[in-house]
Chains A and B, each alone.
Chain A
Amino acid sequence: MAQKTDIRTLPGFRLATIGFFIYLYIPLLILVVFSFNATHSATVWDGFSLNWYAKAFDNSDIRRAAWNSLVVATFATIFATSFATMAALALARNHQIKHKPVFNGVLMLPLMVPEIVTAVATLTFFSVIGLSLGLGNIIIAHTVFCIPFAYLPIRARLHGMDKNMEIAAQDLYASKWATLRYVTLPLLTPGIISGAMLAFIISIDDFIITLMVAEAGSTTLPIYIYSLVRIGITPEVNAVSTILLCISIIFVTISYLVEKKR
């Protein structure tokens, strides 16, 4: 009898795993550590200090960029999650829609298309139609590529939902709206929250598309960090990056916990 081999028992597995995690996380760790460096070096350790955080918070350009990022991510998340929820509901529950795989594919397309292509296309599109809404342009662009990220967990949740829930609601005199409001949406909420969290972090750290689409005065945090790095890496960049990293970790964790809790 051929026995299934547990991959964990293979020789070198432990070493490979440790190597993998070092490769993945050591750079992040160094970045975080040097954000607390006392001197003006991002490479030589010289004692603990919160100076760079104070400096970063004191920098009005950083504050403005952070605020822009927050506004863009919030609105892009709201729009993308709303569209994704509607799309997921329509594709899962409306049996009159034909060619569902095509719609699914189109929704997923932003995941497949190289970001630089989307970026150039969006920029061209905006300039052709003469759209110039400042942050609005960025919000529209972000909404587009956030939709698939919001869509995936919502669809997964919807597919895992017992169809008898909605049937039972209708059986108990709930109209289509009442069913949606009292049964479908509450049951879908973990998926929606999870999708929104993902959309938010995808939006907040986007660089390429934002760089193309952003007009003067609508600089977001990643773009500002990039401009700082070009001048020279200081622990201030590390501090801002660390804050961004924390935000991402918090959101991914919430997304994971909400999705896990059924």
Chain B
Amino acid sequence: MAVAVSVRNVKKTYHGSPSIDALKNISFDIHHNEFFTLLGPSGCGKTTLLRLIAGFEDLTAGKLHLFEQNISHLPPEKRPVNTVFQHYALFPHMTIIENVAFGLRRLGKTENEANTAAEKMLELVHLDDFATRMPKQLSGGQQQRVALARALAPQPKVLLLDEPLSALDLKLRQNMRLELKRLQRETGITFVFVTHDQEEALAMSDRIAVMSAGKVQQIAKPDEIYETPANRFVADFIGDANFYDASIVKSENDVTTYQIGNGVHLKGPLRPNMPDNAKVTLFVRPEKISIINFSTLELVSGEIKDIVYLGSSTDYQIELNSSLSIVVRNENQQNGLAIAKPGDKVSLRIDPTSIRILESENS
């Protein structure tokens, strides 16, 4: 697969007192035609990386290539990439069509050519009726689509999107997710999408790079990120999880028994090449556990302490012993009734294959 953006040993330091290492030696490739997401909490360096690719900031060290062209030190106007800004940054003194045609005009297209192409882009985002309006006459969602059309019109080799949905309300945000996916498919342009919203990232991306503290923690497909996170940070940031420090009790037939607390055992997979008495971190997603009637035959039992109703599902906080608890998520049934109430004694069924063993964090 052709490489659209190659990031090699990229570092970015903001000098000052104190100096901040926003990016600490990052390397990875973004493939051609890919919907690639940079995901992480604020301050993790994801926006800095996007701005470096766009050329709004200078690299401290390392190299950036765009389809094998070294763009490390090109000014933004020389880079065939365009950006969709978080707050749209539409030019308020220009009409919608002038906004969308702006990039093409600067590339030397005649007014006619630029306007024709701009009209096509507006059609693509369903705003062809708004060409002669001014930006402030449009709603937030419409402005967002104009920003998209404006950035796509010059047919950039890579489109950079800086948290473009964060200013929209929930329903609009969900519609725009589908819209963005469609645009990416129809234009065939590589999208690099920055967000702190894990749901957004999982829903849209071909691949996700999870970042924290200026480093890439994991790059993988959405399901791999969710199911087999590389470390505790990724597991914790994406979705919800129960974490336990555990020690090995015994191993037999590919199943290992771990002790996660005083008298509480869990069965999980065997980690290869693990020394006896090794300390590991286990985690299990709350929706992978089922609540069953109390039975002394089951390995894990406890008492329900708290119930949190979430609409489509319900979270049960279950105390395993005085210092250990677990969260179980249950899909709500047709009648919407809770399957247990606080104070109930229940047992839990946890498939050993849904237990994951984590490595220590990459920091």
Contacts and interface: CB of A to CB of B under 8 A. Distances in A.
Interface residues of A, number: 17
B56 interface: yes
Interface string B98-111: 00001100110000
Contacts of B103: 172-173
B89 A162 contact: yes
Interface stretch (B13-21, B63-71, B80-88, B181-189): B80-88
Given A164-B87, A178-B106, A182-B102, A170 B76 contact: yes
Given A178-B106, A182-B102, A173 B89 contact: no
Q: Among the interface residues B56, B82, B91, B107, which one has the most CB atoms of the partner chain A within 10 A?
A: B91
Contact of B77 (A162, A173, A186, A187): A173
Interface in A134-169: 162, 164-165, 167-169
Interface residues of B, number: 22
Given A172-B82, A173-B154, A167 B76 contact: yes
A172 to B, nearest CB: 4
Contacts of A173: 77, 103, 106-107, 154
A175 interface: yes
Interface string B50-81: 00001110000000000000000001110001
Nearest to A162: B89
A100 B83 CA distance: 31
Contacts of B91: 165, 168-169, 183, 187
B89 A174 contact: no
A171 interface: yes
A175 B77 contact: yes
B75 A164 contact: no
Contact of A168 (B75, B89, B93): B89
B329 interface: no
21 contacts: A164-B87, A165-B91, A167-B85, A168-B83, A168-B89, A168-B91, A171-B76, A171-B77, A171-B81, A171-B151, A172-B77, A172-B82, A172-B103, A172-B151, A173-B77, A173-B103, A173-B106, A174-B102, A174-B106, A183-B91, A187-B93
